[in-house]
Structure 1
Amino acid sequence: MILDSNKTLNIPAKMSLMDVSKIFSLLQPKEEDEEDNEHGQALNQAVISDDVGGLAAMLFQDTYRRCINNRSGWGIPVTPLRTAAAHGNLRCLELLLEHGAEVDSLDVKAQTPLFTAVSGKHLDCVVALLKAGADPNGSTYNNCSPVLTAAREGDVDILRELLQFGAEIDVWPKVPEWASNATACRGPLYISAVYGHLDCFKLLLLHGANSNYNCKSEKMLARIKQPKTVLEMCLRHGCGVEYIQLLIDFGANVYLPTLIIDKTTKQNEAVLLLLKKRVCPKTLMSQTRLAIRSYLPMVNKMAAIDGLDIPQILKNYLKHIT
């Protein structure tokens, strides 16, 4: 039984009537707690109304400023910063950050303000939170992540910002070991393909997404009886030939997928391309590009290419710019 964020009650098996009375008296909110709750609600209401002036006036008072990270409101109690991120109210969000709002505070779903801003497709709020030091991967306690969400929604601009700030590329939904199956390692690359977001698909590959299994955990792959490659899943879901070509360009092993070619196969052009690549080795230039990219850091690979002391035409080639 939780009294507040800092106190926990250990209730004995047998209690007297006096013990019960003491517990109920402890559970009653203190006068100062009620006042803090009212101040927290007032901050949240100002954010919801996008009342920057009113919010600023309150934050200049110590009694309100000390409640800046309090969770309040009906339904799911949330901090004012989380409210600003959810509503896309950038000016309020920036003001709260200036006054010391906790950038990675969690709600009851273990979602950070950044995750909420990504879910709401509020690019300006996403950028402001990242610049303020928000973890681009969200919370380790949440089953999802900002990158997975952006890839699913096709928000290429938000996805680009997350990756530039060092977000992990080959992430996957968190599941217990006993529930591991082929869906467990379906990361953002797979998701962007299934939902038909080609721009996100290419961006993830440019930043170093695993082009074979979209999963970097050998332990997880070992737990799955028949892990499916991204190539195979693209064929099964009827993705266009451009997806197959991109995977091949970024080094996918064309011999890994198990091809079942029958009358239900919709993407004959994609299958033919894959079969052709199985008998035609990669060019030396292509192999060189893959080799150079493999030595670059995973975090913000595009910036690493820009930092190379090579002609711009070669930088463009490493970025697959033709």
Structure 2
Amino acid sequence: MSLMDISKIFSLVQCSEEDEDNQQSQNLNDAVSSNDVTLLSELLSHESYRRSINARSGWGIPVTPLRTAAALGHLKCLELLLEHGAEIDSLDVKAQTPLFSAVSGKHLDCVVALLKAGADPNGSQYNNCCPVLLAVLEGQADVLQELLRFGAEVDVRPKLPYWATHPTACRGPLYMSAVYGHLDCFKLLLLYGANPNFNCSEKMLAKVKQPKTALEVCLHYGCGKEYIQLLIDFGADVYLPKLTVDKTTEQNEALALLLKERVCPKTLMSQSRLAIRRYIPVANKQLAIESLDIPLMLRNYLNHDTSEVI
């Protein structure tokens, strides 16, 4: 056997640096999967493992240890990985961030930990979906509130190219919360500044011949009058939906409420609330209202909390 043959054999059995990183990442992933914080801490005490903290491993879809911790809801492991410099917005092959995985797994504590550590509340620009849309789809009002509190886009759209725009693709969180009957999410979105006339911008009207407003969607899917009342209270244009109403039209409570609003002007207090809320920037709208130097009763009214009569 020549020296060259021996060298080839040796190179085959010798682990490359990349293989070593993968193995160490797998060890980290195994520790996270078993929620063994002690073992994970011991591994991360070694420099070589800290260098492999963002490496991906595993069958099917290789993932980082942080992604595993977020998906399984292992908070202590997740916090330990963040303390040792894990990349917070690392992407898997689906362009999903650890935050997206935490929302998908309905792990509120992990969602909060990631957001506090600086995770992008909007997820990845390369993923058609995002944490807000996912939270609304699953009816996770508590998760949705944290995402919005940390600055997530409230009127986010599925990330499709402009040429692919059509009525279905234009349906954002407010639409989805109505269609799936998640009233808590519906109200949260409006409180954080969702446009009650979503889909009616000039650009969208030019592209889509018959854009569906939130009011139309609520009527079409038989949402209760609570949805219609919320849209009215938050300033939806009650004249946008094209309704064909005659004596033979069967009117439910929601439709009757909308028709009544078309002939009854808003009170001065209601119009004042709308004007003030429009003046406040959409980003961190709730925080901005809470910081206003006005009586608590008025702040509650601006937040549509009418538990106390003014």
1:1-322 correspondence runs (5 A): 31-213=16-198, 215=199, 218-261=202-245, 268-322=252-306
Taking the aligned partners of 2:71 and 2:247, their CA distance within structure 1 comes to 47
Residue 30 of structure 1: how far off its partner (Å) = 5.7
8 Å CA contact retained: 1:166, 1:299: yes
Provide Cα deviations, 1:249-293, integer angstroms capped at 9, x if missing partner.
000000000114589977611111111100001111000000000
Amino acid at match of 1:175: L
Provide Cα deviations, 1:158-193, integer angstroms capped at 9, x if missing partner.
000001100000001112223211012211011001
Count of matched residue positions in the alignment of Structure 1 and Structure 2: 296
Amino acid at match of 2:152: A
Amino acid at match of 2:87: E
SS of the equivalent of 1:238 reads coil
Taking the aligned partners of 2:26 and 2:246, their CA distance within structure 1 comes to 61
Residue 219 of structure 1: how far off its partner (Å) = 2.8
Taking the aligned partners of 1:238 and 1:136, their CA distance within structure 2 comes to 31
Taking the aligned partners of 2:14 and 2:170, their CA distance within structure 1 comes to 46
Structure 1: unaligned runs, 5 residues or longer: 1-27
8 Å CA contact retained: 2:69, 2:77: yes
Taking the aligned partners of 1:78 and 1:179, their CA distance within structure 2 comes to 31
Residue 61 of structure 1: how far off its partner (Å) = 0.3
8 Å CA contact retained: 2:200, 2:211: no
Taking the aligned partners of 1:141 and 1:218, their CA distance within structure 2 comes to 26
Provide Cα deviations, 1:114-144, integer angstroms capped at 9, x if missing partner.
0110011000000000000000000011001
Q: Over aligned residue pairs, what C-alpha RMSD do you find?
A: 2.1
Structure 2: unaligned runs, 5 residues or longer: 1-12
Q: TM-score, normalised by structure 2?
A: 0.91
Q: TM-score, normalised by structure 1?
A: 0.88
SS of the equivalent of 2:188 reads helix
8 Å CA contact retained: 2:200, 2:213: no
Taking the aligned partners of 1:133 and 1:318, their CA distance within structure 2 comes to 29
Taking the aligned partners of 1:75 and 1:86, their CA distance within structure 2 comes to 15
8 Å CA contact retained: 1:93, 1:125: yes
Residue 221 of structure 1: how far off its partner (Å) = 4.0
Amino acid at match of 1:85: A
8 Å CA contact retained: 1:85, 1:114: yes
Taking the aligned partners of 1:217 and 1:42, their CA distance within structure 2 comes to 51
8 Å CA contact retained: 1:182, 1:228: yes
Distance 1:225 1:63, change over 3 A: same
Structure 1 segments, 4+ long, off by >3 Å, are 215-218, 260-267
Name the structure 2 match of 1:20: none
